[in-house]
Amino acid sequence: MMTTMAGPGGDTRPATGEDDRLLARVAGGDRAALTALYERHHRPLFGYLATLLGDRSAAEEALQDTMLAVWNGAGRFEGRSRVSTWLFGIARRQALTRLRRRRPEAVDDGWLAAVADPRPGPEEQAVAHLEGERVAAAVARLSPVHREVLVLAFWQGLTQPELVEVLGVPVGTVKSRLSNARKALLRIMAEVG
């Protein structure tokens, strides 16, 4: 049985000042700092990776490689973004490396844009009243690119500029990807009934 978070995102984000200090220590070769950084971030990172990859073991491997990349790359962090955003950027690259090897279904945003009518239809009105579990099941059936943007936005609570940074796409693409994720979700739920 799953639990539904009352406030998505916010409570999974540790304070940033401590992260900066820990990362500086990691850059200096401090293993205890890496351990502390792992403890603070492994849950959100693992949740993101597992949701994106759809597979626990692949997510664990990606998380391992993410932490090793953090160890190797900590000295290159310039503090222009939050540490957590930077971590998600690294984790994303690790996940994409794996997705490339077993390329996920190609997502045609243009096609998805045409799937749902912008006016709320009966199924759209129905979705508003659905319970979290049913929506979660539908989210699990979305394409990785759509699962990803939803998890980052709603579970991690990344702001729009942070989504732009982590996903590496223009702000218009972030907006359209969110919108298309919603439409794809509605379609899946309509199909499932």
Partner 1 sequence: MDAEHVEELLPGHAAGTLTRGEDEHVAAHLTGCGRCRAQAAQWRAIAAGTAALATAVGDPSQDLLARVLARLPAADADRAGAVTCSLPTAQAARTRPSGPPAASARARPTVGPVPVPVPVRPGRPRSVTPAGSASPRGLWQLVVRQVPLVGSGLWLAAPLVLAAGTGTALAAILSGEPGASALAALVLSLCAPAVAAVGVALVYGPETDPGLELALSTPTPPRLVLLARLALVVGYDLGLALLANALVAAVDPTLSFWPLVSLWLGPMAVLSAGSLLLSLVAGPTAAIAVALTVWSIQLLAFGPARDAGVVRALADIWELALTGPGAGLAAAGLAAAALWLAPRREPA
What are all long-range contacts of 118-126, with beta carbons under 8 Å and residues at least 24 apart?
123/186, 123/189, 123/190, 124/186, 126/189
Nearest-approach distance from CB 48 to partner 1, in angstroms? 7
Tell whether residue 8 is a contact of partner 1 (CB under 8 A).
yes
Least separation in angstroms between CB 43 and partner 1: 6
Q: Are 9 and 80 in contact (CB under 8 A)?
A: no
Give min distance, CB of 55 to partner 1, in A.
Answer: 6
Cα–Cα distance for residue pair 15/23, rounded to 1 Å: 13
Site for partner 1 in 107-166 (CB under 8 A): 109-110, 118-120, 124-125, 127-130, 132-141, 150-151, 153-155, 157-160, 164-165
- For residues 32-51, which are near partner 1 according to CB under 8 A? 34-35, 38-39, 42-43, 46-48, 50-51
- Per CB under 8 A, the list member of 103, 115, 117, 187 interacting with partner 1 is 103
CB-CB contact of 144 with 50 (8 Å): no
Closest approach, Cβ 42 to partner 1, in A, equals: 6
Q: Which is nearer to partner 1, 24 or 154 (CB)?
A: 154
**96 makes contact with partner 1 (CB under 8 A):** yes
**With respect to partner 1, which residue has the nearer C-beta, 25 or 182?**
182
What's 117-179 look like in SS3? CCCCCHHHHHHCCCCHHHHHHHHHCCCHHHHHHHHHHHHCCCCHHHHHHHHCCCHHHHHHHHH
Q: How far is the CB of 17 from partner 1 (least distance, A)?
A: 18
17 binds partner 1 (CB under 8 A): no
- What is d(CA 173, CA 72) in angstroms, rounded to the nearest whole number? 31
**17 is written with which tokens?**
């000042």
Among 15, 76, 122, 193, indicate the residue that binds partner 1 (CB under 8 A).
Answer: 76
